[in-house]
Amino acid sequence: MNERRKHRRKVVNSRVRVFHPVLGSMDAQTRDISDGGVLILLGEELSRLKVNDEVKLIFLDSGNVDVVFNMDIVRLSENGVAMTFLNYEKDGQVSPISDLRDIWLKQS
């Protein structure tokens, strides 16, 4: 089987909050994360999401809870909900994900 992923995954167990425009907010747990997106463990609430839904996501265990990620749901499976990063918002300003990576790299 050929690997089609562009970005390497890292196992990360973090609490997140997902905001859906119709379904409201849902708390969940991540399974893994990569530069391209995140896999959220599937719970009953998350099972109502659909591929191509756009949601907002915050990492509750992060030191940067004021950063809101705009996400697109790309896959649903028995393992979870796969989401890709679209961009992020901080202080009302929308910026590309690449800008955030640059900021965090400078801080480390």
52 lies in a domain? yes
Q: Phi then psi for 84, rounded to 5 degrees?
A: -110, 145
What residue numbers bound the domain in which 76 lies? Answer: 10-107
5 lies in a domain? no
Query: What whole-number percentage of the chain has pLDDT above 70?
Result: 84
Q: How many C-alpha atoms does 81 have within 13 Å on its Cβ side?
A: 29
65 lies in a domain? yes
Computed over every residue of the chain, the mean pLDDT equals: 86
91 lies in a domain? yes
- Which residues lie below 8 Å from residue 80, measured CB to CB, with a gap of 6+? 31, 39, 40, 41, 42, 46
Of the candidates 90, 52, 53, 46, the residue with the CA atom closest to the CA atom of residue 68: 90
Over the stretch 35-65, which tens digit does the pLDDT of each residue have? 889 999 978 887 889 999 999 999 999 888 8
Over the stretch 57-88, which tens digit does the pLDDT of each residue have? 999 998 888 999 999 999 998 889 999 999 99
Of the candidates 82, 64, 60, the residue with the CA atom closest to the CA atom of residue 73: 82
Tell me the pTM: 0.83
4 lies in a domain? no
Domain of residue 93, CATH code: 2.40.10.220
18 bridge partner residues: 26, 57
103 lies in a domain? yes
Structural domains of the chain, count: 1
